[in-house]
A and B are shown apart, each in its own frame.
Chain A
Amino acid sequence: MAMRELERLREIPTATATTSDGNLYAGEEPFASLPGSELEHTLRPNLQGSEFLQGFRSVDQGPPQRVLSNFLHSFLHNSQGGMPFRPTSLPVLGLSEGDKQCIRDRSSIMARHLFADKSEEFIHSQVNALLSSLDIDNDIRARGPIPGRYPELEEYWNESQGMRPGPHGADGWISEFTQHQVAPDNPNMWVQSFERQHGANGWASEFEHEQSQLASIDQMRGSNMPNLAAMEQTRLLAHTLAQNKDPKFQNSKFLQFVSKMSRGEITIEDNQFKPAAFSAPGDWATEYDQQYGGGQSWADQFSNEQLSHGPHGWANEFAAERKQHGVTDNEWVNEFSKLNVNDWSEEFERQVADGTLGDASADNWANAYDEYLNEQVALKQKSETSRGLYEFSDLNPYVGHPNPLKEGQELFRKGLLSEAVLALEAEVMKNPENSEGWRLLGIAHAENDDDQQAIAAMMRAQEVDPTNLEVLLALGVSHTNELEQAAALKYLYSWLRHHPKYGTITPQDQPENLYYADVARIFNDAAKLSPDDADVHIVLGVLYNLSREYDKAIEAFQTALKLKPRDYSLWNKLGATQANSVQSADAILAYQQALDLKPNYVRAWANMGISYANQGMYEDSIRYYVRALAMNPKADNAWQYLRISLSCASRNDMLEACDSRNLDILQKEFPL
């Protein structure tokens, strides 16, 4: 390359970090900032930043590029003929570790597609021949960036993107692919290898390097969610590709796949890379995204191809894709010359100085994974109830009991809620038309802090006995707890309509859309009609909770409590209302009243925990959550809240016990 050209290149922010293995560029410091090498390092933001800035100043990508390009071309040509590849000796190319990894990774994936009809052995020998010529160790797996603990997450991730193990049952391929998928830099590397093989235009490929560099660091900031930025790229890609009028391309599975993937998916718009920094705003960013998106798409496309058709379809897609690139490449060069380089580096310095990469991000990621697993477990457990179906426990010892209803009532009275649930389940399995069985089951679940199951049971009770006032009120309360306003309003209105005393003041035809104000007015009339009926005050209190008129709600419950001072659930309702209107200290007193009357009232224990947590007293809240969970280990809300409190109280040492739901450890650690 001519000196003049080299000098021009020096003025450009390229990030090629070609480490010299000896001769060509001796004296240059080896860089770690090449895309593909980030994950070999621990995440040190500042270091990363300075390496990046150094990368700005380093420019060398001359003859070796061309040699490599020719070499890879010959590999491809050879391959098309299905001939074994014969290694040739090459001049020292001065490939960096990152380069090597890139080539290694790409070739093995590429080879599997080129030789889809060949045996694994053949593929291996082809790749090995290629790699040994380039003096690259074939140890893909050893360098895999993924710690072993995320395999399930990856599996899920792949699944969510419509990837299924391919027809060849190529598990090895899938897991390899997964590595590529997760490593944030790899999409760029596709583009790089691509450029090396096909892009004779030095400008374009230098620029490409630059982009990869920026993108990698961009993704580093969100390193705990490496796939996310890629999703946005996919979206942009889908958009771009959709504009290609070629009907063959329009019908391609690839496009369908990409657009399906992008529909309703993540976007991340990082306004720190806003196009305003350049003299040609907008265009540049769009093109960058297209280009980068194209890179990502390769990985996607491979997975797609694995599913659908063989190497020929792949070649077609490739050509279509190439067309897109061909156009943008030229425009890139134009846009590129307009770039204001200083803005770039300043942006970077600022961002790195911001410490956008928290030390905790790796932890967060690991935690997120744990929580994800919990979530999956919970989803499995809740899959039925979320659709309003009651879910029965396995292995119920009360099945076959001569009188499970009586047993259930007895257990409920003793406050053994979880046992009562089992007995009552046995009852309703035996007599599905027993509304009292379902009702009490619903109440037991509500007191056990499980509104989903409570609603499911109460709905069965209501099916059998549509006008039962207790059932209607319970449904109104549970739906209020679940913040389901319309449903709650419907049941509270039904309560009024079916009440022997108040039915007469209620319009008989239930309107399609209930208006809160109308319902509230009728209830107030009812309360005036019989001020000594505790129930109407209770419903009124629930209704005011719905409209978040907490003062009125508190007043209504207090009135009811004067009439029914030993109603523990009423004390809890008062407490919950006070808590939700940030009178946590009062709430705790009310909950205490409830617990004095009913010591095994799981909901009140859990509510205690919430009140302490909302006051920032996390250590205290933990003890109450643990207590609630000791009585009902199925109270999912309490588990979730416990987890938050443990984090906030800096008791991360107990998170594992929480995630594994190990109550022995938790109770020992947090006695009440």
Chain B
Amino acid sequence: MASSTQLKSDAIMEQMKLHLSTDAGKQLTKKIGLVYQINIAPKKLGFNDKSYVVDLKKGEVKEGTYEDGKPDATFSFTDDDFVKVSTGKMNPQIAFMRGKMKIKGSISAAQKFTPDIFPKPSKM
């Protein structure tokens, strides 16, 4: 594992993956029931994206693009901005307005993408 290619978002996705196996995570799956694909760029939007599928239908997080059809919404972020949005430091709508978040897909699905979906990292 080369440290230089690590994204901050990887940690959040990993935690999300674990989170979805908990009761709270299962409730979330039930409540949202949508599939999001999230493309995360290390520095600049659209460059060297790493994709994750956050499947809130099945309750799983997978690396790579969605292959069972079309995700309900696809988001693109830079690594830093995804961390900001998922930890509640930046509102998704503000992120969108400022061009820090790109959306493809249905707006109604996108509107359900809120900071409370992701578990918050605890600090040592």
Co-complex (A, B): yes
Q: How far apart are A627's CB and chain B's nearest CB, in angstroms?
A: 16
Q: Mark B105-124, 1 if CB is under 8 A from A, else 0.
A: 11110010001100111111
Majority DSSP secondary structure for residues of B touching A? mixed
With A361-B111, A483-B8 already in contact, the answer to whether A266 and B99 are too (CB < 8 A) is yes
Task: Name the residue of chain A whose CB is nearest to the CB of B98.
Answer: A160
Q: Which of B3, B14, B45, B90 contacts A516 (CB 8 A)?
A: B3
**Which B residues lie within 8 Å of A224 (CB)?**
93
Q: Judge whether A481 is part of the interface by a CB distance below 8 angstroms.
A: yes
Q: How many chain B residues touch A (Cβ–Cβ < 8 Å)? A: 49
Q: Which residues of B (58-110) have their CB < 8 Å from a CB of A? A: 70, 83, 87-91, 93-94, 96-99, 101-108
Q: Judge whether B50 is part of the interface by a CB distance below 8 angstroms.
A: no
Most chain A CB neighbours (cut-off 10 Å) among B18, B23, B91, B102: B91
With A356-B106, A485-B3, A486-B3 already in contact, the answer to whether A371 and B122 are too (CB < 8 A) is no
Q: How far apart are A116's CB and chain B's nearest CB, in angstroms?
A: 31
With A266-B96, A356-B108, A576-B123 already in contact, the answer to whether A614 and B1 are too (CB < 8 A) is no
Q: Mark A438-468, 1 if CB is under 8 A from B, else 0.
A: 0000000000010100000000000000000
Q: Is the CB of B97 within 8 A of A228?
A: yes
Q: How many chain A residues touch B (Cβ–Cβ < 8 Å)? A: 79
Q: Judge whether A587 is part of the interface by a CB distance below 8 angstroms.
A: yes
Q: Judge whether A640 is part of the interface by a CB distance below 8 angstroms.
A: yes
Q: Judge whether B32 is part of the interface by a CB distance below 8 angstroms.
A: no
Q: Is the CB of A607 within 8 A of B97?
A: no
Q: Is the CB of B120 within 8 A of A610?
A: yes
Task: Name the residue of chain A whose CB is nearest to the CB of B20.
Answer: A582
Q: Judge whether A480 is part of the interface by a CB distance below 8 angstroms.
A: yes
Q: Mark A635-658, 1 if CB is under 8 A from B, else 0.
A: 001001101100110000000000
Q: Is the CB of A225 within 8 A of B115?
A: no
Q: How far apart are A276's CB and chain B's nearest CB, in angstroms?
A: 13
Q: How far is the CA of A606 from the CA of B120 in the complex (A)?
A: 11
Q: How far is the CA of A483 from the CA of B23 in the complex (A)?
A: 26
With A221-B107, A451-B123 already in contact, the answer to whether A486 and B93 are too (CB < 8 A) is no
**Which A residues lie within 8 Å of B91 (CB)?**
367-368, 371-372, 375
Q: Which of A160, A268, A355, A572 contacts B124 (CB 8 A)?
A: A572
**Which B residues lie within 8 Å of A610 (CB)?**
120-122
Q: Is the CB of A643 within 8 A of B123?
A: no
With A515-B3, A607-B122 already in contact, the answer to whether A368 and B99 are too (CB < 8 A) is no
Q: How far is the CA of A516 from the CA of B104 in the complex (A)?
A: 36
With A572-B124, A640-B88 already in contact, the answer to whether A485 and B6 are too (CB < 8 A) is yes
Q: Mark B1-16, 1 if CB is under 8 A from A, else 0.
A: 1111010100110110
Most chain A CB neighbours (cut-off 10 Å) among B18, B44, B96: B96
Q: Judge whether A346 is part of the interface by a CB distance below 8 angstroms.
A: no
**Which B residues lie within 8 Å of A431 (CB)?**
none
Q: Which of A485, A584, A606, A643 contacts B88 (CB 8 A)?
A: A643
Q: Is the CB of B1 within 8 A of A515?
A: yes
- What is the interface of chain B, defined by CB distance below 8 A to chain A? 1-4, 6, 8, 11-12, 14-15, 18-19, 21-24, 27, 44-45, 70, 83, 87-91, 93-94, 96-99, 101-108, 111, 115-116, 119-124
Q: A266-B99, A266-B101 are in contact. List 14 more A-B contacts (CB 8 A).
A: A221-B108, A272-B106, A372-B91, A451-B123, A483-B11, A515-B2, A548-B11, A579-B122, A582-B18, A607-B123, A610-B121, A614-B119, A614-B120, A640-B89
